[in-house]
Amino acid sequence: MNRLTMMNLVPSSRLRASSASGRLRSRPLQSLALVGAIIAALPVACTAQPPATPIAPPPAATPSAPLVAGLPDFTNLVTRVGPAVVNISAEVTPKRERSARGGGPQLDEDQIPEFFRRFFGPDGIPGGPGGQGPRQPRGGARSIGSGFLISQDGYVLTNHHVVDGADTVTVKLTDRREFKAKVIGSDEQSDVALLKIEAKGLPFLRTANASLTKAGQWVVAIGSPFGLDHSVTAGIVSAVGRSNPYAPDQRYVPFIQTDVAINQGNSGGPLLNTSGEVVGINSQIFSNSGGYMGVSFAIPIDVAMNSAEQLRSKGKVSRGQLGVVVQPLTSEGARGLGLPDSNGALISQVLDGGPASKAGIVPGDVIRSVNGTAVHESSDLPPLIGNMAPGSKARLGVFRDGKTVELNVAVNELNADGTAGLAGGGDTERGGDSAGPAVKGNALGIVAQDVDPAARQRLGVKPGEGVVVRDPGTAAGDAGVRPGDVILSVGRTQVGSAAALNRALAGTQPGQTVMLLIRRGAQTQFIAVQAGDGK
């Protein structure tokens, strides 16, 4: 009898021992007789009950064939590639730290978004986007991250946010050697940095064919979470081509999503396939707590290497652009445009004089493919175009007026700030103040008014373009149209007056979906409005 059982039994015995000794000897016999009678009656009661129906079928007599032929063993992979993974320490001097703190408004810890966090190590560089930790008592602030060698002569890849703003960057190898690294270049939009250490004959990692990375395949991460050098974690690819809605400046990165455990200090480390080839650079996690919650993101290695090659050759990264603004295509929008499905990027604005304008692309066009690669969502388009060299040709599959046409566009260079150079108007909420008289009478119940010349510049609309919404009515209001919005077109039909708006809507049938191109402040977008039944 184990100790736990004895402890449960002893108290009862001791309590009985405290009573009179005569009664203690006689009562157990009476009790045993009573218990025996009860036990004797139990089988009769049990057999009187009908057998219960099993809640599930019985287990198989023999085990089923395994669906997985065996769990992977990563020991050989780690032994082979581990020496090429490095620890990176980036430091900011106390003087630089004070300057950074005083150089502009600083976000408090509770003001930092809790979604996509980029991680440093236990010590955070001031102003970094998350991962702040305790400060070094001397020597300024320090961040700890990871990286990996991509050549035998000392080129190292890591994240931009690991070394951003650092005065000194130190690279430590697995053999404990340390080198002061030179930052060859760093690119915020791709979150890639290229470093160089002075050494020869170093181990290095080979890159994978990025197009072969698929959801469901095993991947391994090696890095320095919380400063614990060369920690290994494994998981699978959850998805590829993920956009980051919480960091618009990184819309040119189609992230690899995994369930590999990534924490502070893993930033910049390699994500490897089972052949030991790099498929991505670990960069971000999705978290409500600041720690790993099962969703991690890596920069695809082809995007990273494209940035690294440009950083080495010219010190900056150039990206292609079409000169358009796109928006997601909803099922309602697809019906309004006559599309068979909601795949594609809906063009809501075209930059005057830009590549798309020169190629004849107009708002309302839907880009369905780029150089034969399908565009499923609007977020697919920026990486496809952004990773093209300025001056190169893009063959676009464009849906227009019920059919798909192919257009060739010569992309030009994206502005350094990541914008396409699109200029917007001012606040359109006050658009009705300088507009003409309101005009009623259209199938959607929109009350609109002409824009007078004095208001056009403030509203950001050209002469003869657009009408101001005074009252959106029920159907358009429910769809998201607001007073003060400027309606630029109905589908592809441009409207420059309230009368023109009424004419464009004249043939609208009850239940029909109409696409309205709306200018609101600096933003232009299509809104799908379903006409009411007229009751």
Catalytic, 191? Answer yes
Picking from 319-328, 432-441, 472-481, which range would have the lowest pLDDT averaged per residue?
432-441
Catalytic position from the list 161, 186, 379, 380? 161
The letter for the amino acid at 68 is V
User: pLDDT at position 307, please?
Assistant: 94
Catalytic, 267? Answer yes
Distance CA 373, CA 281 (A): 24
Average pLDDT over residues 403-422: 77
Q: pLDDT per residue over 294-321, tens digit each?
A: 889 999 999 999 999 999 999 999 999 9
Q: pLDDT per residue over 427-461, tens digit each?
A: 333 334 445 566 666 888 899 988 877 777 777 77
Neighbour count for residue 445 (Cβ, 10 Å): 18
Indicate the SS3 state at residue 93. Answer: coil
Catalytic, 160? Answer no
Q: pLDDT per residue over 135-151, tens digit each?
A: 333 445 677 899 999 99
How many helices and strands, by DSSP H and E, does the chain display?
A: 12, 29
Q: pLDDT per residue over 210-228, tens digit each?
A: 889 999 999 999 999 988 8
Q: Please name each of the domains of the chain with its CATH number.
A: 77-314 (2.40.10.120), 320-413 (2.30.42.10), 428-530 (2.30.42.10)
Give the Cα-Cα-Cα angle 335, 339, 344 (nearest 5 degrees).
110
User: pLDDT at position 317, please?
Assistant: 92
Alpha carbon 533 to chain centroid distance?
Answer: 40
Distance CA 448, CA 434 (A): 13
Q: Where residue 371 falls among pLDDT bands split at 50, 70, 90?
A: very high
Give the H or E element holding residue 31. helix 21-47
Q: Whole-number mean pLDDT of the chain?
A: 79
Task: Give the C-alpha distances (Å, rounded to integers) separating 523 from 217, 419, 450, 486.
Answer: 40, 13, 20, 11
Catalytic position from the list 267, 369, 378, 379? 267
Catalytic position from the list 123, 187, 191, 365? 191
Per the CB < 8 A criterion, the answer to whether 363 and 523 are in contact is no
Per the CB < 8 A criterion, the answer to whether 296 and 282 are in contact is yes
Q: Of 471, 505, 474, 476, whose CA–CA distance to 489 is shortest?
A: 505
Strands 278-286 and 116-118: antiparallel
Residue 93 has pLDDT above 90, yes or no: no
* Percent over 70 (pLDDT), the chain: 74
Rounded to the nearest 5°, which phi and psi values hold at 122? Answer: -60, -25
* Percent over 90 (pLDDT), the chain: 45
Name every residue whose Cβ is closer than 8 Å to that of residue 325 and which is 6 or more positions away in sequence.
347, 348, 349, 350, 420, 422, 523, 524
User: pLDDT at position 243, please?
Assistant: 83
Reading the block at residue 297, the tokens are 């993101």
User: pLDDT at position 287, please?
Assistant: 73
Q: Where residue 10 falls among pLDDT bands split at 50, 70, 90?
A: very low
Per the CB < 8 A criterion, the answer to whether 173 and 238 are in contact is no
Q: pLDDT per residue over 27-73, tens digit each?
A: 444 554 444 544 455 554 445 567 778 888 787 788 777 665 677 88
